[in-house]
Amino acid sequence: MTPIRESLQRVMAEKCSVFRNHDGLTDALSEIQKLKKRYTSLKVANQGRKFNYELQEALELGNMLVTAEVIAFSALRRHESRGAHFRQDFHERNDSDWLKHTLVSMSKDGLKLSYRPVVLSRFLPEKRRY
């Protein structure tokens, strides 16, 4: 496993897991962006064209970095707790502002957020009861 992958797994486990907060997500996003810069200089020693598992792992790592950045970026901007993700700085779910799908796209200026309404059908949202 590459040091970049190990660092990414640590960042996601420590700062972007179930329990989240603004500072942790901000740190996670910053660290992920540093890892993405390091990734650009990653070298693949195996130049084979068949069954090149080193190349496959390098490509997977690139996709993992993009996905991690999207997760941290969108979670940082969602100011509520919802589902299995608890924001320690926003304890309650906020359906009036956040009952919507979060979409992230890449632009020349970086990541861009947009939203799409949730279509309610059979299962209506309700408060958790444990």
Summarised one tens digit per residue, pLDDT across range 108-130 is: 999 999 999 999 999 888 877 76
12, pLDDT greater than 80 = yes
- pLDDT for the residue 124: 86
CATH class of the domain whose range is 3-93: mainly alpha
Contact indicator for 101, 44 with CB cutoff of 8 Å:
no
pTM attached to this predicted model:
0.89
pLDDT, tens digit, 9 for 90 and up, residues 76-107: 999 999 888 899 999 999 999 999 999 999 99
pLDDT confidence of residue 129: 74
Residue that wins the pLDDT comparison between 68 and 130 = 68
Domain ranges of the chain: 3-93
Does residue 88 or residue 1 have the better pLDDT? 88
For the record, the structure tokens of 85 come out as: 């993700």
* Sign of the C-alpha dihedral computed for residues 43, 48, 49 and 50 taken in this order: negative
Stretch 10-23: mean pLDDT: 96
Q: Enumerate residues 6+ apart whose C-beta is below 8 A from 55.
A: 44, 46
